[in-house]
Amino acid sequence: MKTKQIALAALSAVLLGLPGCRGEPTLDTRTFALKSMDPYTAQQIIAPYVFTDRAGAPGTMSAAAASLTVRETPDNLEKIERVLAEYDVPRPDVRLRFQLIEADGFTESDPAIAAVEAELRKVFQFRGYRLVGEAVVSATDDSEVQQSLAGGQYQVEAQIHWAQPGIIRLEEVSLYSADPWQRLLFTTVNVRPGQTLVVGTAAKDKSTATLLLTLVAEEVGAGG
């Protein structure tokens, strides 16, 4: 009997010394090659699946030029693989249509902005609207656009990124007047393809009128 108890005690000691015998999960390491997504964005997306604060067996991840290396449990690695398969896809090119609209005491409708005037009236209470200038530009993911409006009287600039599938992020959107040269508007917005968005408003130089910058974004095909 004593011999059996000693053997069981010895076996328990050996088992307690093995990984995972104290309730700690078994971790594996995998490297995920990134197709289109930059490593920083990928890290932000998969961070909820990497438990860096797990006691005794913390998860880890590190980034290289076009890959992520993750140490986690097998089931979490499978989840990360599925998430990357959904989000790490080629980003389509986009077509951006900017319209600069003046809002004031106009009484007649401008047919050039008939598609957006009804939406503007839901948000604002100006008596009338008319088109000042417009431009259509094409852009790729992680690019910058600069475009003149109204024959060069104004210029719009923006940095274009796909924040995630279905959402285009325009950072540092700026509207400038050329005479004198000054920035009238500065903002960052997210827009979905097909959505009409009022990017911002600005007071027209030397006037009581208000300028509205609107945007429509469309996908025009696969990028990359």
User: What is the 8-class DSSP label of residue 178?
Assistant: E
60 in a structural domain: yes
Radius of gyration of the chain (CA): 28
- Across 68-95, average pLDDT: 92
- What CATH number is associated with residue 47? 3.30.1370.120
12 in a structural domain: no
7 in a structural domain: no
Same domain as 41, residue 143: no
What pLDDT is recorded for position 116?
Answer: 87
**pLDDT band at residue 31 using 50, 70 and 90 as cut-offs:** very high
Choose the final residue of a domain: 39, 59, 87.
87
- How distant is the alpha carbon of residue 222 from its chain centre? 17
Choose the final residue of a domain: 33, 68, 87.
87
Q: Report the distance separating Cα 57 and Cα 189, nearest Å.
A: 40
137 in a structural domain: yes
5 in a structural domain: no
Same domain as 175, residue 215: yes
pLDDT in tens, 164-188: 778 899 999 999 998 788 999 999 9
What pLDDT is recorded for position 114?
Answer: 87
Same domain as 136, residue 45: no
Q: What are the residues facing 215 on neighbouring strands?
A: 98, 197
Amino acid at 160: I
- How distant is the alpha carbon of residue 169 from its chain centre? 5
What pLDDT is recorded for position 68?
Answer: 94
Choose the final residue of a domain: 34, 58, 87.
87
Same domain as 197, residue 110: yes
> Residue 115 sits in which domain range?
92-222
Measured torsion, CA atoms of residues 106, 111, 115, 117, in degrees rounded to the nearest 10: 10
Q: What are phi and psi of 9, to 5 degrees?
A: -65, -40
- pTM beyond 0.85: the answer is no
Same domain as 177, residue 125: yes
What pLDDT is recorded for position 153?
Answer: 93
pLDDT in tens, 105-156: 777 788 889 888 888 888 888 888 999 999 999 998 889 999 999 988 999 9
Same domain as 62, residue 165: no
